[in-house]
Amino acid sequence: MLRRIADHLFWMARYLERAEWRARLADVNYHLLVESPTSDPHPWAPLLAITGDNELFAQYYEAPSETQVLDFFTFELRNPSSILTCINAARDNARNLRHRLSSELWLEINTLYLEAQGWSHAVFDQQGVYGFFNDLRNRFHRLAGISYATLPRDIEFDVMTVGTMLERAENVSRLLDSKYHHLLPRVEDIGGTVDRMQWAAVLRSASALEAYRRVYGNHIIIDGVVEFLLFDAGFPRSCRFCIDQLQEAAARIEHEAGSQPAITAPGSPGAKLAMALRGGSTEGVLRSGLHEFLMEVQDLCADIGSMIFDKYLRFE
Amino acid sequence: MDWEAAGRSETAALLSNVASFWAAYKAHPEAYDEMCDRHGCPRAGHSHMLAEFLATHAQKFDEIRARADRMFLNEGVTFNVYGDSAGAERIFPFDPIPRVIDADTWATLEAGLIQRVKALNAFVGDVYGEGAILKDGVVPTDLIKTSSQFRRAAFGINPPNGVHITVAGIDLVRAADAQFRVLEDNVRTPSGVSYVIKNRLVMTRLVPELIRSIGVRSVEHYPADLLASLCEIAPSGASRPTVALLTPGAYNSAFFEHVFLSQQMGIELVEGCDLVCADHKLYMKTVGGLRQVDVLYRRIDDDFLDPVVFRPDSMLGVPGLTAVLKAGGAALANGIGTGVADDKAVYAYTPAMIRYYLAEEPILPIVDTYLLRDPEMRKMVLRDIDQYVVKPTGASGGYGVVIGPRASDRELAETREHIENYPDNFIAQPVVQISVHPTIVGHRADGCAEVAPRHIDFRPFVLLGERPRVLPGGLTRVALREGSLIVNSSQGGGSKDTWVMAS
């Protein structure tokens, strides 16, 4: 596999995953607001805090109203992580490697791209905020399904897996953090109706509500949600699952390329993160601070990303 | 119920539908119509079957065209237009009325094409070898040495099987006498073959029953033939040669084709930055290290191929590639400097080349061509410049062509000045009344497709390897603007599927 192709594959996968998570994050915020009406004058501002876009937003927009945040988040081309920017970037990468993709996958990406070029705020009026993001999420599920059903499991698939899983682990941690950025419930509210509904919204955004209930029943509390989205070994949107998958795919790439283990070497950021997620406990994390733990997850993800770039994607 | 009578009246109704549909077709006053006679009536045989189908499905055809366009757009079957806003992708407009070539006509064309490309290939080998044709005075030496496509770097490269031109696209037109003539040769990096295959794919999805019943030869074998031809020019010793396609990148006008062909052949699509030369060999940079490339199918021009030898500012090529080719470490298709053979001035000597190398009479005639470097001819052409088509000798893609009868006085004056200043750079040809074909130009009030004659040309593709291979079909381009003779995609042309009949 050419290094240039690996680079395009990695970034195509990341941008698709990122676009999907932006849709999920917008969706969870929408639900949090619906489930628990707030007196906060800017209930959409937390979305910007979660993605670290406060400053960028302030450059172009006046106040974080629902309309403006949704526009910034969804269509704004000056926002390097808006859903539209991500779709454009994913398609641009895909265009450079469409000979390596199945024609079904390319067709799906290109159709999404062409459709996205016609988006404007009117889509929220036509489909509703929920309807728009729900449809979009289904498009991404279709993309995942097409990839799963049509791509051979080879080194190229592994590179895509690494990109997808890295982006996903980072975004799961952001999603978990999203409640931190909302007004913390009063102590007496913890475990109350509002708290429960907010955590349910987080789970639903990760497509995790039903799977959670199978394990924990209808008892939705922070301990269970953290345990499930951070440490579950089998759920496809838990951090642990993502990093396990990443490590496995990276090991196959390193084997195939005949190179010394780097991403999978003991002491590497990838191995550190995998260990923290395999050996961690919800109790410990909640005691020492969930937000701090999630920030560490995100830092380690960034380190893994730069290591992959240095080792396999950059070429002189 | 009298079924027979019902059948008869149905047939009669059908025939009257067909007749009334074609009664609205206004035949071109001069040009040869590929499908209809002088009165605008469909000819007998395949044309008639097609005409009948068209008339009975006239409600559908406009929709078929719209569906085809949508398919091309969604699948990203697009080209980029230079000088347009950055990265603009456009579809190549598709006309769903196919052009039909019967089996006998095709047999002659095929023989003529093979003959022609063999001679052109021999000419390239000769020019960069002994130069016998020049020493014998059949082609003037200074014409070659001053050609903008002459490449000194090509001396000393000896490709296996003597193949310099692996892929040729020969542009043919059919004049008012119905005779196919060669309009120009494309033996550098001819493009368009992906549209031949895609157009057919679209047609088989849209009118499967018609294609089956009429007996059309398949074009889907082309990528396999191309790969076989490329493998046959691999340096000796490579038992399972690694072939790669070199593209200038995603912003090149023909990028879709590069993607399509590499995908169909199952070979790597590389950019210059993916390649490196070392120890007289060519390699690609992979995740697992360097991997040797035996044959490079390049789709970039000579000038950008190797910054060591050609343009030093090129970022698209591979430094040291020419040296690798000379050492026999890799093969290149098409070879360096093949452009001397499709130079518009050299074109005038192609019949002589065929006689010289093959000792055969040319099967396909060319269009009369006047070299404006010759003072007598120049005088003649300048006297009636509005009667000629003037073409720059080294260009391709229809750029710089001036059609005398259509040009403004200012354009003619400018052209005259160019010719007087740089007579070597131009040729002139009489205006060929190129053939027309029924083409959908809109839709009528009743929703039926509106059909009118539009000018078309034809680019079949010929491959050379251990033996020649000709794609049974080719790219039929159509000038969609009424009266226009320019069919290039960059200048408002579209394309049609071309059906070569099995029998």
Is residue B60 classed as helix, strand or coil in its secondary structure?
A: helix
- Closest Cβ–Cβ partner in B73, B76, B270 for A106: B76
Q: Do A309 and A163 reside in the same domain of the chain?
A: yes
**Between A and B, how many residue pairs show a Cβ–Cβ distance under 8 A?**
59
CB B301 within 8 A of CB B278: no
The reply to whether A314 touches chain B by the CB within 8 Å rule is no
CB contact under 8 A, B259 and A259: no
C-alpha distances out from residue B446 to B21, B40, B439, B443, B451, Å: 12, 21, 18, 8, 13
Q: Chain B residues with CB inside 8 Å of A155's CB?
A: 287
A121 and A217 assigned to the same domain:
no
Picking from B341, B345, B394, B352, the residue whose alpha carbon sits closest to that of residue B169 is B341
| Nearest-CB residue to B76 (from A6, A98, A155) | A98
Whether A133 and A255 share a structural domain: no
Strand duo B295-298 + B331-333: pairing: parallel
Do B433 and B461 form a contact (C-beta atoms < 8 A)? no
Q: Which of B326, B324, B322 is nearest to B309 (CA)?
A: B322
Let me know whether A284 and A228 are in one domain. yes
Residue closest to A168 by CA, chosen among A208, A201, A134:
A208
Contacts of A312 in chain B (CB under 8 A): 287
Supply the pLDDT for residue B1. Answer: 47
Give the closest-approach CA distance of B287 to chain A in angstroms: 5
Give the Å distances, CA to CA, from B48 to B328, B450, B473.
54, 18, 20
Give me the tens of pLDDT residue by residue for chain B, a chain 503 residues long: 455 555 556 666 666 677 888 888 999 999 999 999 988 888 888 888 888 888 888 777 777 788 888 888 887 777 776 655 445 677 888 998 999 999 999 999 999 999 999 999 999 999 999 999 999 999 999 999 988 899 999 999 999 889 999 999 999 999 999 999 999 999 999 999 999 999 999 889 888 888 888 889 999 999 999 999 999 999 987 779 999 999 998 888 888 899 999 989 999 999 999 999 999 999 999 888 889 999 999 999 999 999 888 888 878 889 999 999 999 999 999 999 999 999 888 999 999 999 999 999 999 999 999 999 889 999 999 999 989 999 888 665 566 788 888 889 999 999 999 888 888 888 999 988 899 999 998 888 877 788 999 999 999 999 999 999 999 999 999 998 888 877 776 677 899 999 999 98
- B14: contact with A, CB 8 A cutoff: no
Domain boundaries, position A16: 1-150
In this structure, are residues A167 and A9 in contact, taking their beta carbons and an 8 Å threshold?
no
Closest CA to B475 of B490, B461, B463: B461
Q: Are B364 and B425 in contact (CB under 8 A)?
A: no
Residue B255 near residue B247, CB atoms below 8 Å? yes
What backbone torsions phi and psi does residue B192 show, to the nearest 5 degrees? 120, -15
Using a CB-CB distance cutoff of 8 angstroms, which residues of chain B are in contact with residue A118?
A: none
What ipTM was assigned to the predicted interfaces of this complex? 0.70
A199 and A116 belong to one structural domain: no
Q: Quick one: which of B450, B482, B501 has its CA closest to B55?
A: B450
pTM (two decimals): 0.83
A25 and A98 fall within a common domain: yes
- Asked if B250's CB is within 8 angstroms of A95's CB, the reply is yes
Domain ranges of chain B: 7-365+456-503, 370-430
Q: Do A211 and A85 belong to one domain?
A: no
Q: Does B89 touch chain A (CB under 8 A)?
A: no
Cβ within 8 Å of B, A 46-75: none
Dist CA A165 CA A171 (whole Å):
10
Listed residue (B226, B107, B35, B108) closest to B502, CA to CA: B107
- What is the distance between the alpha carbons of residues A314 and B121, in angstroms, rounded to a whole number? 41
CB contact under 8 A, B287 and A114: no
Instruction: Please tell me the least confidently modeled range out of A32-46, A52-66, B55-69.
Output: A32-46
Please name the member of A107, A155, A312 whose beta carbon is closest to the beta carbon of B75: A107
DSSP category for residue A231: I
> What is the CB-side half-sphere exposure of residue B36 using CA atoms within 13 A?
27
Query: Which pLDDT does position A237 carry in this prediction?
Result: 94
Number of other CB atoms surrounding residue B13 within 10 Å: 10
> Which of B73, B249, B286 is the closest to A3 by Cβ?
B286
pLDDT at B74: 81
Which A-chain residues 79-98 have CB contacts (< 8 A) with chain B? 92, 95-96, 98
Question: Could you tell me if B230 and B297 are in contact, meaning their C-beta atoms sit under 8 angstroms apart?
Answer: yes
Are A128 and A170 within one domain? no
The answer to whether the peptide bond before residue B186 is cis (omega within 30 degrees of 0) is: no
Q: What is the tally of structural domains in chain A?
A: 2
Options 3.30.1330.20, 3.30.70.60, 3.30.1490.270, 3.90.1150.10; CATH for B370-430 is: 3.30.1490.270
Closest Cα of chain B to A304: distance in Å? 17
CA-closest candidate to residue B265, choices B203, B333, B363: B333
Q: Which of B77, B43, B34 is nearest to B439 (CA)?
A: B34
Question: Is A166 in the same domain as A311?
Answer: yes
Statement to judge: residues A144 and A174 lie in one domain: no
Longest dimension (CA), chain B: 86
Q: Which helix (H) or strand (E) holds B243?
A: strand B243-246
- Quick check: A9 contacting B, CB < 8 Å? no
Q: Are B427 and B345 in contact (CB under 8 A)?
A: yes
Pairwise CB contact (< 8 Å): A1 & B269: no
Report the greatest alpha carbon distance in chain A: 59
Q: How many whole angstroms separate alpha carbon B471 and alpha carbon B194?
A: 12
Q: How many alpha carbons fall within 13 Å on the CB side of residue B54?
A: 26
Indicate the pLDDT class of residue A27, thresholds 50, 70 and 90: confident
Residues A181 and A251 in one domain: yes
Do both A168 and A290 map to the same domain? yes
Candidates B262, B271, B286; nearest CB to A1: B286
Query: Residue B318 in contact with residue B333, Cβ under 8 Å?
Result: no
Taking Cα atoms as reference points, which of B130, B182, B241 lies closest to residue B457? B182
Report CA-CA distances (Å) from B94 to B191, B209, B229, B292, B490.
17, 20, 29, 40, 14
Per DSSP, A238 falls in state S
